Amino acid sequence: MSGILSLVRSDLAGFAGYSSAAKESDGFELSIKLDANESPWLPFGEVSSLCPVNRYAEPQPAALHARMSAAWGINPQQLLLTCGSDQGIDILLRLFCTAGLDEILVCPPTFSMYEVYARLQGAKVLSVPLLENGQLDMTAIFRTITNRTKLIFIPAPNAPMGHAMNKDDILALCAERNGKSLIVVDEAYAAFSNDPDGVVPVLGKIPNLVILRTLSKAYALAGERVGCVIGEPKIIEALSAIIPPYPLAQSAVRAALDTLSPTGLAQTISRLKILKSEKKYLAEKLYEAEGVVRIYPSETNFLFVETTGAKDFMERLRRFGIQIRNMEYQKTNAVRISIGKPEENDFLLMALGVKTDRVSQSLRSASVQRKTKETAIDVFVDLDNRAQSQISTGIPFFDHMLYQVAVHGNFFLSLHAQGDLHIDNHHTIEDCALALGEAMNKALGDKKGLARFGFIVPMDESLANVVLDLSGRPFAQIEMTVQASPCDGMGIDLAEHFFRSFAVSLGATLHIKAVGTNNHHVIEASFKALGRALQQALVCEGSTLPSTKGVL
């Protein structure tokens, strides 16, 4: 055996693992599955109808494997999906460490699961504490390491402290231990950091580099247990022989596909922005709280905080029903606080006696998934985000129109639709209108600070008047008049239908009057005017409702 594989436990060399029904199938999908002793029926319960939970999921679900590789810019042969990244730690230890002989090296304060799995496998744990500045103590590491040190675990950013790790140290360690140890970089929190790509870009150049990633933290899927090991194809192949045959549940595969879809990723990016600014806010404000001694720099979604007494500090929060984590096993009087939603963070500060002057801004974003026999639509809107919208409906002209609404409405829209366009465009346009209206309605929340408005847009010979009231009382009066023939993908009738459906699901009163001689111009002017009217209506002008009734 050559290179990196010579590090594999000698008693596992060439071990092929369990031969499951899935492994033995030739990959050709036959419609009647009688090979895996599964139940032919779905079980009781609602959730199960969303995915075939009576069947084993694929060992490495192809669609998810492809989507995750693409999302993180990884060659698919370098990626193994695991049941959480914890399983990645476990199988690395099992594959490389012979009980009673081999060792791992950790640098505390560090994630405690490395040691847990090492003990379960009977591997010895060498420990070289981080330097005072939080970085690797390279001299001490080289002094401590032996020729039985198979794995070196480095969480980057660090857990539980939260700071960034020096990449050059990690690369120097890889170079020094080439052919002797694997360097396992645990990037559970990379997505929150200023360097979200982490060490992925150098993969491929460094044979003994292994990366762990997870959907548990930034991607909001802790409960579904989806992670991965990233590394040399040879390592991935050897690990896939020993991983349990079906590491991922069907529901986990379904949820992960959604999270990594274009709209799911857009929502994640938008939430990461919020978490970052909340962390900054919390880190500043917490210094005003009694009992806070020191807050450590963090490139994660948590703050490591030294207090005057961890137990007391936690008890003060407990009385308000707030749970944080005691970290005294890592450092005396330390606690760890995960960043929550803005209103949760404000409540935390209030519980600690810190005055907060900001108007607790609820997040004006929402997502909607709409699936029917005819269409499948994912929508995410963020009314306070100016990033470039991403729209694909399969109807280029309609994409262009929706883009006009988002640009002129001054909000972010991710809308991806797959519809029965081979029949006609009707279902797709109608269902996009309904899903978009519903998402905007959700994003508007309690509608505090909203105004009512209208706009007029000319386009050459055409003129569109749009008046909009986010009244909660759906009503649409749409009058579009044109003399020319329909343009690609969308005629006046479909445009009118779009505006009506949108008004209903948004819960808006919408009046549109548009006239012209060019179909394209009449429609485009109407969509632009709608965007402009929305922009005015969506501006948060204070914290009161613009209605004498006090409720919209």
Ligand X SMILES: *Cc1c(COP(=O)(O)O)cnc(C)c1O
Where do contacts with ligand X occur on this chain (CB under 6 A)?
Answer: 84-86, 111, 155, 159, 186, 188, 214, 216-217, 222, 227
CA distance 95 to 415: 43
**Measured CA angle at 158 (ends 157, 160), to 5 deg:** 135
155 vs 437, which CB is nearer to ligand X?
155
CA distance 432 to 438: 10
84 vs 489, which CB is nearer to ligand X?
84
Q: Shortest gap between Cβ of 217 and ligand X (angstroms)? A: 6
118 vs 480, which CB is nearer to ligand X?
118
What are 182's strand-pairing partners?
151
DSSP 12: G
End-to-end CA distance of the chain: 71
Q: Shortest gap between Cβ of 177 and ligand X (angstroms)? A: 21
Q: Shortest gap between Cβ of 155 and ligand X (angstroms)? A: 4
109 vs 155, which CB is nearer to ligand X?
155
Q: Shortest gap between Cβ of 29 and ligand X (angstroms)? A: 30
89 vs 443, which CB is nearer to ligand X?
89
300 vs 365, which CB is nearer to ligand X?
300
**Measured CA angle at 311 (ends 307, 312), to 5 deg:** 75
296 vs 380, which CB is nearer to ligand X?
296
59 vs 162, which CB is nearer to ligand X?
162
CA distance 212 to 230: 6
Q: What Cα–Cα distance (Å) separates residue 92 from each residue in 23, 121, 242, 504?
A: 21, 10, 10, 54
Beta carbons within 10 angstroms of residue 11's beta carbon: 7
**Which helix (H) or strand (E) is 152 found in, with range?**
strand 149-155
60 vs 385, which CB is nearer to ligand X?
60
* Angle of helix 113-121 versus helix 84-96 axis, rounded to 10: 40
Beta carbons within 10 angstroms of residue 126's beta carbon: 18
Q: Shortest gap between Cβ of 225 and ligand X (angstroms)? A: 6
Q: Shortest gap between Cβ of 222 and ligand X (angstroms)? A: 6
Q: Shortest gap between Cβ of 215 and ligand X (angstroms)? A: 7
User: Among residues 184, 233, 236, 237, which one has the least CA distance to residue 213?
Assistant: 184
**Measured CA angle at 519 (ends 418, 529), to 5 deg:** 75
Q: Shortest gap between Cβ of 86 and ligand X (angstroms)? A: 3
What are 183's strand-pairing partners?
152, 209
Nearest-CB residue for ligand X: 84
CA distance 117 to 345: 34
Beta carbons within 10 angstroms of residue 243's beta carbon: 23
Q: Shortest gap between Cβ of 191 and ligand X (angstroms)? A: 12
Q: What Cα–Cα distance (Å) separates residue 445 from each residue in 51, 361, 370, 448, 471?
A: 31, 11, 19, 8, 13
CA distance 526 to 323: 50
Q: Shortest gap between Cβ of 427 and ligand X (angstroms)? A: 39
227 vs 264, which CB is nearer to ligand X?
227
Q: Shortest gap between Cβ of 195 and ligand X (angstroms)? A: 16
155 vs 474, which CB is nearer to ligand X?
155
Confirm if 355 and 290 have CB atoms less than 8 A apart. Answer: no
188 vs 466, which CB is nearer to ligand X?
188
For the sheet with 453-459, list strands across it.
Answer: 453-459, 462-469, 509-516, 475-482
Q: Shortest gap between Cβ of 227 and ligand X (angstroms)? A: 4
Sign, CA dihedral 128-129-131-135, equals positive
